[in-house]
Amino acid sequence: MGKTYKMQHNRPECIGCGACAVIAPDFWEMNDDGKSDIVDGKDMPNGWQEKIIQEKDFDLNLEAAESCPVEVIHIIDNETNKKII
């Protein structure tokens, strides 16, 4: 299966700029409320979303995370539990 990462989205703090959905539309979409959502992401009780991604999808989602002006997208290495961004 290879290396995996946990992608987290602090949805309550999202301002809905849409950069993530433009960069990685297979992973990010805009919701009717003006905020972005992780495609097929798991909704958490605190309003955040999570999804496990494969190593092949890391670079694209890192670019999406880096494009976020309010830094609400986080990627964590599943092996080390170290936050990358």
State the pTM of this model.
0.93
Domain assignment present for residue 72? The answer is: yes
Domain assignment present for residue 48? The answer is: yes
- Where residue 61 falls among pLDDT bands split at 50, 70, 90? very high
Domain assignment present for residue 83? The answer is: no
Domain assignment present for residue 58? The answer is: yes
- 5-17 pLDDT, tens digit per residue, is 999 999 999 999 9
Per DSSP, which regions of the chain are E strands? 4-9, 28-30, 36-38, 42-43, 49-54, 73-77
pLDDT, average across residues 42-62: 97
Q: What's residue 1's pLDDT?
A: 64
Domain count, the chain: 1
Domain assignment present for residue 85? The answer is: no
- 15-35 pLDDT, tens digit per residue, is 999 999 999 999 999 999 999
Dihedral class, residue 51 (left if φ above 0, else alpha if ψ from -120 to 50, else beta) = beta
Domain assignment present for residue 84? The answer is: no
CA–CA distance, 55 with 44 (Å, rounded to integer)? 23
Does residue 4 contact residue 78 with C-beta atoms inside 8 Å? yes
